[in-house]
Chains A and B, each alone.
Chain A
Amino acid sequence: MSVLMFLSAALSVFVTTAIVVILVTESWTFFRQVPLVEFLTGTVWTPVFTDARFGILPLLVATLEVAVFALAIAIPLGTVMAVYLSEYASVRVRETMKPALELLAAVPTVVFGYFALLVLTPLLQKIIPGLASINLLSPSIIIGIMILPYVVSVSEDAMRAVPNGLREGAYALGMARWQVALRVVIPGAFSGITAAYILGMSRAVGETMILAIAGGQNPNLTFDPREGAATITAYIVQMSLGDLPHGSLAYATIFSTGLVLFLITLIFNVAGFYLRNRFREAY
């Protein structure tokens, strides 16, 4: 029985290994035909054209652009909410809001995608001229709201881990609540709050359905969020919807782009977990 339990636990190591092995071996055909330099620096991504070009930059730029815009929503809102919940809110407010935030985290992403495409975009088109019906702005905002519960919960945990003695010392020196929050709690929880941002970023980078629905499917190297552009995840979904012959170059592209996505999120996750554990050890 304990052998079985060990195997269950070891399954996680197997899964990680399998992910790496599958991503590398399946994109092997790809990298044999497309030089790595061209893949990483090319600015045109047209894998199914007769004149096929394989530069991942359009997909990569769109992916990071969405993540940055989503964070531009989630960071200010999330930080203010976390400060409020940890420093101002009464126990009753906190005990009601935290489950409500958890419920928010349970909304399926395909439903968020529906909101982005059919509710938010028409709304934004009335305010912002030149907004295409498929654009990056609207999904970015929705992703920002989607990662909000996560950012709030991780950064609030970090703020609550700041020992009360530090707060009381600051109050004894005559600081007001906002000064304590700004000058004692936030600096004290800084690594944990940064971890929340980074882990939120990682989620935004890996978000798929919202972008596949509302973000567009044309690789488009642009910095204008009013236009649509395919992200790495949206590209993988789009290709998977068609019938990909196993072993073809098009089939290999979803693994090579997937490998890039995996590496980006891996870097963010490792950095996030490192920072998150640091604040746990500090106090």
Chain B
Amino acid sequence: MTVLSPIESASASEATRSAMRAIASAKRTDLFVAGLGLFVMLVSMGLLLVLVGDLMIRGLSRIDYDFLTSFPSRRAANAGILSAWVGTLLVMLVTAFLAIPIGVMAGVYLEEYAPKNLLSNIIEINVANLAGVPSIIYGLLALGFFVYGLDLGKTILVAGMTLALLILPVVIVATREAVRSIPRIVKEGAYGLGADKWQVMWHYIIPAARPGILTGAIVGLSRAIGETAPIITIGALTFIAFLPPAPVSSEFPFINFDWLNEGFTVLPIQMFNWISRPQAAFHENAAATGVVLMALTLSLSGTAIWIRYRLRRNVRN
């Protein structure tokens, strides 16, 4: 055992002390950085809450039965969003009907069927790229291709198709991730029991991937509800004081598709139209429409997030 001389022990305790100081200062910096992170996060969330609160204060009092069941009007107090929410509903019907089956088929194909070749690669790069194309470019595509190229006019059908193309990458990516996360054992077990590829797909893979696919579809639709730019580009009218013919009727054949070829407006366009007017009374209407729109998109995304988190818990257990 060595005995430290007084000088050596003094310098050792000096070294300890300076190390302690360094640790203390590092801890202070850590505390500062963590505090900064939390602060930034709370401020940006808080700012958003303030904005949403402001929207609610201005808009909530305007929402009543009349607002939801009246057509737009030149007098702000009489105006309502009937044609807008009916339009949104019908457009979303078309979008969901197109984007979900096509997106799921494309996602399953890319994950399970696609051979590893140049073409599959090109498709994959394309899907990734399409997710980043600005929505207004889809609007230009729809204007040039659907409205004038195919001469379909500025109808509910065209709007639905445009938004379906827009959310297709979201559905495809969600489907692929859901399919990829299914354990191989499930597939191999099914093949072992003599199922063919199609049976495995239909009876095992799709059911197991359903929550993930559902999440993707809901996120996509909630994005489509709020999309404004592409629908303005195809030339949707902002002043619509009529409803399209009802899709369901009491006479044979009970379902008709006339509504697909009608002009329309949707909630975000109605809101945009009211924001653009100078009168404060219309701004109030815009805020009320904004509240309805936010309620729709946030409840949809909330559902999607909830499904995803429940799913994750199930996987863990």
Interface residues of A (CB under 8 A from B): 1-2, 4-6, 8-13, 15-16, 18-19, 22-23, 25-26, 77, 80-81, 83-85, 88-89, 95, 97, 99-100, 102-111, 113-115, 117-120, 145, 148, 176-179, 181, 199, 202-203, 205-209, 212-213, 233, 236-237, 240-241, 243, 246, 254-255, 258, 261-262, 265-266, 268-270, 272-273
Contacts and interface: CB of A to CB of B under 8 A. Distances in A.
Contacts of B305: 99, 102-103
A22 B132 contact: no
Contact of B33 (A88, A95, A207): A88
B105 interface: yes
A265 B131 CA distance: 11
Q: Which of B41, B198, B298, B301 has the most chain A CB atoms closer than 10 A to its own CB?
A: B41
Given A13-B123, A108-B228, A258-B136, A113 B33 contact: no
Contacts of B172: 9, 12
A229 to B, nearest CB: 17
B5 interface: no
Contacts, number: 249
B29 A178 contact: yes
Contacts of B54: 115, 119
Contacts of A145: 44, 47-48
Contacts of A5: 105-106, 108-109, 113
A110 B37 contact: no
Interface stretch (B68-76, B178-186, B250-258, B268-276): B268-276
Given A13-B126, A176-B27, A22 B140 contact: yes
B165 A15 contact: yes
Contacts of B34: 84, 88, 177
Q: Which of A104, A119, A176, A266 has the most chain B CB atoms closer than 10 A to its own CB?
A: A176
In the A-B complex, the 6 residue pairs with the closest CB atoms = A84-B37, A206-B134, A108-B226, A176-B26, A106-B301, A22-B144
Interface stretch (B8-16, B89-97, B241-249, B285-293): B285-293
A13 B122 contact: yes
B59 to A, nearest CB: 10
Given A5-B106, A208-B136, A213-B272, A26 B144 contact: yes
B7 interface: no
B55 A111 contact: yes
B189 interface: no
B128 interface: yes
A181 B229 CA distance: 40
A206 B136 CA distance: 8
B233 interface: yes
Contacts of A84: 33-34, 36-38, 40-41
A272 B132 contact: yes
B164 to A, nearest CB: 10
Nearest to B123: A9
Contact of B140 (A23, A81, A207): A23
Contacts of B223: 106
Contact of A254 (B29, B129, B140, B287): B140
Contacts of A13: 122-123, 126
Contacts of B191: none
A75 to B, nearest CB: 12
Given A22-B140, A84-B40, A262-B134, 5 more contacts: A11-B106, A12-B106, A25-B144, A26-B140, A262-B133
Nearest to A255: B140
Nearest to A202: B132
